Each structure stands twice: as C-alpha cells, then as structure tokens.
Structure 1
Amino acid sequence: MNIRHLKYADFDAISPVVDEWWGGRPVRGLLPRLFFEHFQPTSFALEEGQELVGFLVGFHSQSNPTIGYVHFIGVHPGARGKGYGRLLYQQFFDAAARFGCTEVRAVTSPVNESSIRFHSRLGFQLLPGNGNVNGYPVCLDHDGPGHHHVLFSRQLTEAA
C-alpha cells in the first residue's frame, strides 16, 4: 500500500470508474480535471501494488485559511473495510495542519448513509442545517435545487 499526492494523469484512471464506485450514482461531473491539476499538495491517491484503489481531493479554503475542505473521497468497493479512507483522511489532516488549518469540513448526500457513518466515526460533527432528510440535518439546495447535503466539521488537534 502506498499513499502519494494525486497527479494530473490520475484523472484518466479515476473519472471512468467513479460512478461505478458510487454504485451507479452519477457523480463523475463533481470531479473535473481541474482538481487533479490545481490541488495536488492536499489531494492523495492510494495504491495497492500498481492499482489505484482510493483517492481524496481536498484543499485549504482561500476565503478562510483556517479551514480545510474535502471535496471528494473514494475507495474502490473491493478495497473497502481496510481502513484506506481513514488513512487518506489522516494524510489530508496532516497536510491541512501544515497549511495552518484548524478545522476540516466536508459534505455528503443524505442518502449516502455509509458516508455519514464513516465521517462520524472519524470524529466529524454534523452541522445544523435548514432542513431534515432521512433524519439528518441538511442544508437544503446546497448545490442547487434539490441538491441537499449533510454538512460536517471536525476540529484538528495536535493528536489528529
């Protein structure tokens, strides 16, 4: 297992399979090539041998430099349960702290209950929203009409 910074060329490996990794949900459009080009210092790929089996796209906020944001994290369905998501997040926590971040935020869809449980296990808190979907607080229309999201926040500490 090897964790490295995401490379521009990783787009060509990840983009064609990302919808499949999400059980057929159309998420490919949320991951344009620009993330692979402009956010390499805070984005990571995880490989088993020569096969890319996980990735995390994150950055530190330009508007609030104390906040790091994870835009996307994915682990191949056949590689789940090995702690790879946690390892990728730890890489991001370390990178975000080096950039001076004290908090990390992320979002997920309220239908993605495995993501909600995963983030909660990592110490993320669900932030209040202006609505409720599937029993979770959500920010209604967060990314446009009908695109509601659960919002997360996790404080970074020296122990993180």
Structure 2
Amino acid sequence: MTIRIAPAAVADFHQVLTDHARYWGERDLRSLHLLALVQEFGSTCLVARAEDGIRGYVFGFVTPEGTGYVHLIATRDDARGTGLGRRLYVAFAEAAERRGARKLKAITSVGNTGSVAFHRSLGFDAEIIDDYDGLGRAMVVFHRDLPLDTSRP
C-alpha cells in the first residue's frame, strides 16, 4: 500500500476529528486540534494518506525563534508499529527546516510513556518541567537539534 505524505487540507482536519478514536483511543484530545494550525501553518501540518484514508498526521509550526514545534502527531490504530510516525516526523522536520527551523520541540504528559519512548528513539532530550501546563501540571518537554537523523529505521 502506498502512503503519501502531503500538506493537510481543511477537509483532512475534519476527517481526523471524525475518526478521532482511531488515532487516540479513549483519550479525547479533540480540543487540542486547532483548525487555525492547518489554515495558517499548512506547510507544516501534514497527513499520511493511503487508499483507505488518512493513516496518520502531524500538526505543527515554526516559531519566530526557529523552533519546529510539533503540536500533535498521531497514527491510526491499524498503522501503528509500521514506522509511519517516524516518517511523519522526518517530513515535518524537513518542512520546518525549509522554513528556517534549527531545532525541534514537543511536549507530552508525564504519564505518556509511549510518547516519551518514541521521542527518545528519535534522539530527543526529555525534561520534566513543573507547572509547564499550569499550576500543578508538569509536562515532559522534548528538544533536539536539526537535522533529524533519517538513517535510523
């Protein structure tokens, strides 16, 4: 099956929300999906499309300071373990670099061990920062320099 990674369209955003449970299971993260990201930062909001729909996506942007910030990345339940998340990250990193990014950043909740392991496998440093997401809400903050090493599987 051929998977093509391309900039997300507004229709893709709505499809991702319709199929939310396929990407996030029981966790309701719809409020973190911001249409403005797709509309304003379309070149760094990407979908991985196959014949059977959107297999995964990454929504992010480049800050004025040159950081490629990954706001959300997800793969559909039937695409996990295929390397698609890594491919999406590489595509995002390349798009961010074209827009002047020199480093990458992402965050996740402290209990999201899968995300922590995934980001560490991509060479990110991880730091727990207290009150990052409000009083009493520590988050894991990931950082790494670009380019992203694409030689890893």
User: Secondary structure of 1:101's partner?
Assistant: coil
Does residue 1:34 correspond to 2:36, yes or no? yes
- 1:16, 1:145 → 2: CA distance? 32
User: Secondary structure of 1:115's partner?
Assistant: helix
- 2:84, 2:4 → 1: CA distance? 10
Provide the residue aligned with 1:153 in structure 2: 143
Q: How many residues align?
A: 148
- The amino acid across from 1:120 in the alignment is R
Give the TM-score, by structure 2 length: 0.89
Contact 1:19 1:27 in 2 (8 A): no
* CA displacement 1:11-64 (0-9 Å, x = unmatched): 2111133355222112110112212211111110001214101000010003x1
Q: Which has the higher helix share?
A: 2
User: Secondary structure of 1:153's partner?
Assistant: strand
Provide the residue aligned with 1:135 in structure 2: none
Give the TM-score, by structure 1 length: 0.85
More displaced 10-residue stretch of structure 1: 145-154 or 68-77: 145-154
Q: 2:9 aligns with which of 7, 11, 23?
A: 7
- The amino acid across from 2:88 in the alignment is L
Provide the residue aligned with 2:132 in structure 1: 142
- 1:140, 1:16 → 2: CA distance? 33
Contact 2:5 2:46 in 1 (8 A): yes
Contact 2:46 2:88 in 1 (8 A): yes
Q: Could you tell me the percent identity over the aligned residues?
A: 34
* CA displacement 1:72-120 (0-9 Å, x = unmatched): 0010111101100000000111111111211000001111101100000
User: Secondary structure of 2:116's partner?
Assistant: helix
User: Secondary structure of 1:9's partner?
Assistant: helix
- 1:78, 1:146 → 2: CA distance? 35
User: Secondary structure of 2:18's partner?
Assistant: coil
Does residue 1:98 correspond to 2:98, yes or no? yes
CA RMSD of aligned residues (A): 1.7
Contact 1:10 1:36 in 2 (8 A): no
Provide the residue aligned with 1:47 in structure 2: 49
Provide the residue aligned with 1:124 in structure 2: 124
Does residue 1:111 correspond to 2:111, yes or no? yes
